Amino acid sequence: MPVDSDADAFADLAPADREALDALRTDDLLGPVIERHGPLTIEPAEDPFERLVVSILRQQVSMASAEATRERLFDAVEVTPDGILAAEEATLKDAGLSRQKTRYVRNVAEAFAEHGWDREAFAAMSDDEVREELTAITGVGEWTANMQLLFTLGRPDVFPVGDLGIRKGMEELYGRDMSRAEMVSEAERWAPYRSYASLYLWRAKEDIAASVDEVRGDGSA
């Protein structure tokens, strides 16, 4: 459901959020979507390892199935790099992880343990450096890396061009199908706030808005 978007709602935002949305509200294409839905902001996740594990669990399954697996996994083991690596394969299987996802989750745990990654470590990296590091892990693709940048690290200028919801949002705004190159080119108008623009592109059509949580959580591209 759209939310009220009066001036006070925008005025009460944190300075960085207000600056981003004030700039995007002047855009003739995106502005009306922002006014319709009101303030949407980026809220970084607390634990980058947990968030990446959950992204792996959500690859190619429904949100309901992924949530059930998440609950069983978090009940069964300590979801830290050491906890995952110490867990028996049978324990992970009983939690609902396939053999492939068990391998992927362990790959992520090994990378975090080897590099000592935490929020501070990622904060010192550029967006491209984060993508390069994460996509070097088997099981983590560009889509998942972009979701980590946007929803875990709270980077303000991420444009996940490979996302289906983003493509549909661009089609809704522009009234035509667009290639990836065209979308990237057109999205330059929203830099350096393309993460915020993406939040609204996911809501540009009602059928996208209804499944935005699944758009955020699914995929291994």
Per-residue pLDDT at 95: 96
For the cut 70, the answer to whether the pLDDT of residue 221 exceeds it is no
Per-residue pLDDT at 205: 77
Residue-wise pLDDT tens digits, 41-91 = 998 998 999 999 999 998 878 888 989 999 999 999 999 999 999 999 999
At which residue do the structure tokens 């050491």 appear? 82
- Whether the full predicted model's pTM is greater than 0.75, yes or no, is yes
Per-residue pLDDT at 60: 79
Per-residue pLDDT at 212: 55
Q: Which domains does the chain have, with CATH numbers?
A: 7-41+158-217 (1.10.1670.40), 48-142 (1.10.340.30)
- Residue 178, amino acid: M
- Residue 37, amino acid: H
Residue-wise pLDDT tens digits, 164-213 = 899 999 999 999 999 999 999 999 999 999 999 999 999 987 655 544 55
Residue-wise pLDDT tens digits, 92-128 = 999 999 999 999 999 999 999 999 999 999 999 999 9
Per-residue pLDDT at 70: 94
Per-residue pLDDT at 7: 61
At which residue do the structure tokens 């699914």 appear? 218
Q: How far apart are alpha carbons 35 and 168 in whole angstroms?
A: 19
At which residue do the structure tokens 């978090």 appear? 74
Distances (CA, A) of 169 to 91, 133, 183: 40, 29, 10
DSSP letters for the chain: ------HHHHHTS-HHHHHHHHHHHT-TTTHHHHHHH--------S-HHHHHHHHHHTTTS-HHHHHHHHHHHHHHS--SHHHHHHS-HHHHHHTT--HHHHHHHHHHHHHHHHHT--HHHHHTS-HHHHHHHHHTSTT--HHHHHHIIIIIS--S----TT-HHHHHHHHHHHSS---HHHHHHHHGGGTT-HHHHHHHHTTSSHHHHTTHHHHHH----
Residue-wise pLDDT tens digits, 131-168 = 999 999 999 999 999 999 999 999 999 999 988 899 99
Per-residue pLDDT at 6: 58
Record the tokens describing residue 59, joined without a space: 């690859």
Cα angle, residue 152 at apex, residues 205 and 37 outer, rounded to 5°: 25
